[in-house]
């Protein structure tokens, strides 16, 4: 077998920055709390907790006082900063600059449309950390949509401003945009009767990976996609691989590999999400390499 790790996979800038910041803060041996999993990858979370990082849930934040709390790349709503001030918490802010910029855009858009009785719509996963932060800029008034059925929450006779969670699929965003335009036309008889603004706020580090993954998946016999199961970005990028290469498999770590997936003469492509560390993809590659001698001994049909 020939095994290749996709060099365009692995951490995006925001995740890499947050993890490096956490590691630097942990060097002094003092407790560092993290508001939610620092990255949607259980293997990496386990590695960092072994170094002393303590993961807390959002409701636990109010019980902490006089300590350090890391804000991960996903960003946080204004309420988190208010609690930090009240409880004398030192925030280690590792919010991704792309997310911070989007939060600012959403806040300005909300301030503008509320005067016109308009609506902020966010294409994203309800409850996702980034979406919680974005919705916080609208005092939790944003309408979060993922699928066509979610569009029923929107009033298509009033102004609509659409944004996207930064890690969502570009294809999914433009499909949703078209569905909203269709609904506006159906309800009003004409698209131009309602002020509709669609803002493609998907991170280009994420969206640019889609065409790269299309090419990578096409030249491999089999694709092993490594990602945490909670990663929204991982699900989106895996679907890109699966559409291109039917022999694509989603795994969280090497223990989920199945030797029956492989053939002795396969070229194996290993890739992952923006939350997948390179060391984890290398572990998977090393494990697949051990299959090679076993596969040779399996008689072909």
The helix (H) or strand (E) run that includes residue 160 is strand 160-164
Query: CB under 8 Å to 77, separation ≥6 — which residues?
Result: 132, 133, 135, 136, 137
Please check whether the two domains, 13-96 and 98-165+168-201, share a CATH topology: no
Query: CB under 8 Å to 17, separation ≥6 — which residues?
Result: 73, 94, 96
Q: What is the pLDDT of residues 27-70, one digit of tens each?
A: 988 899 999 999 888 999 999 999 999 999 989 999 999 999 99
Q: Which CATH number fits domain 98-165+168-201: 3.30.1280.10, 3.40.50.1220, 3.40.1010.20, 3.30.2320.50?
A: 3.40.1010.20
Catalytic residue chosen out of the listed positions 25, 44, 76, 130: 130
The gap from C-alpha 219 to its chain's centroid, in whole angstroms, comes to 26
- Among 10, 165, 34, 29, smallest CA distance to 93 is for 34
Among this protein's residues, is 130 annotated catalytic? yes
Burial class (CB in 10 A: 0-12, 13-18, 19+), 102: buried
Q: Where are the alpha helices (DSSP H) in the chain?
A: 13-26, 42-49, 78-86, 97-113, 129-136, 170-188, 204-207, 209-218, 232-244, 278-296
**DSSP state at residue 253:** S
Look up residue 113 and give its two tokens: 């449309």
The three-class DSSP label of residue 31 is coil
Considering the domain 2-9+207-296 in this protein, what is its CATH number? 3.40.1010.20
Q: What is the pLDDT of residues 123-151, one digit of tens each?
A: 999 999 999 999 999 999 999 999 999 99
Asked if residue 186 lies in contact with residue 148, where contact means CB atoms within 8 angstroms, the answer is no
pLDDT > 90: what percent of the chain? 79
Which phi and psi (to 5°) does residue 76 adopt?
Answer: -140, 155
pTM for this entry: 0.85
- For the 13-96 domain, the top CATH level (class) is alpha beta
- Domain definitions of the chain by residue range: 2-9+207-296, 13-96, 98-165+168-201
Buried b (16+ CB within 10 A) or exposed e, 149-176: ebbeebebeebbbbbbbbbbbbebbeeb
In the structure, what pLDDT confidence band is assigned to residue 73 with cuts at 50, 70 and 90? very high
In the structure, what pLDDT confidence band is assigned to residue 300 with cuts at 50, 70 and 90? very low
In the structure, what pLDDT confidence band is assigned to residue 297 with cuts at 50, 70 and 90? low
- Among 159, 150, 88, smallest CA distance to 122 is for 150
């Amino acid at each position: 077998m020939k095994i290749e790790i996709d060099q365009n996979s692995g951490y995006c800038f925001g995740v890499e920055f947050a993890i490096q910041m956490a590691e630097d803060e942990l060097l002094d041996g003092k407790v560092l709390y993290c508001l939610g999993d620092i990255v949607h990858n259980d293997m990496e979370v386990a590695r960092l907790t072994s170094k002393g990082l303590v993961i807390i849930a959002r409701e636990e934040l109010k019980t902490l006082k006089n300590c350090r709390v890391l804000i991960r790349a996903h960003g946080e709503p204004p309420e988190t900063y208010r609690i930090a001030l009240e409880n004398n918490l030192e925030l280690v802010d590792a919010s991704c600059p792309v997310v911070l910029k989007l939060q600012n855009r959403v806040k300005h858009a909300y301030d503008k449309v509320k005067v016109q009785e308009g609506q902020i719509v966010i294409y994203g996963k309800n409850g996702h950390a980034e979406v919680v932060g974005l919705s916080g800029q609208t005092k939790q008034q944003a309408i979060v949509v993922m699928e066509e059925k979610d569009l029923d929450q929107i009033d298509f006779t009033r102004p609509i401003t659409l944004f996207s969670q930064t890690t969502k699929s570009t294809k999914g965003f433009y499909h949703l945009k078209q569905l909203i335009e269709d609904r506006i036309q159906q309800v009003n008889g004409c698209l131009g009767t309602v002020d509709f603004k669609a803002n493609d706020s998907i991170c280009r580090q994420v969206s640019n990976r889609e065409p790269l993954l299309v090419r990578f998946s096409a030249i491999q016999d089999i694709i092993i996609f490594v990602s945490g199961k909670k990663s929204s970005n991982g699900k989106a990028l895996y679907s890109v691989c699966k559409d291109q290469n039917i022999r694509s498999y989603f795994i969280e770590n090497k223990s989920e590999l199945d030797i029956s997936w492989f053939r002795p003469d396969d070229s194996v492509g290993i890739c992952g999400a923006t939350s997948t560390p390179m060391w984890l993809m290398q572990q998977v590659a090393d494990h697949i390499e051990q299959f090679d001698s076993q596969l040779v001994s399996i008689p072909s049909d």
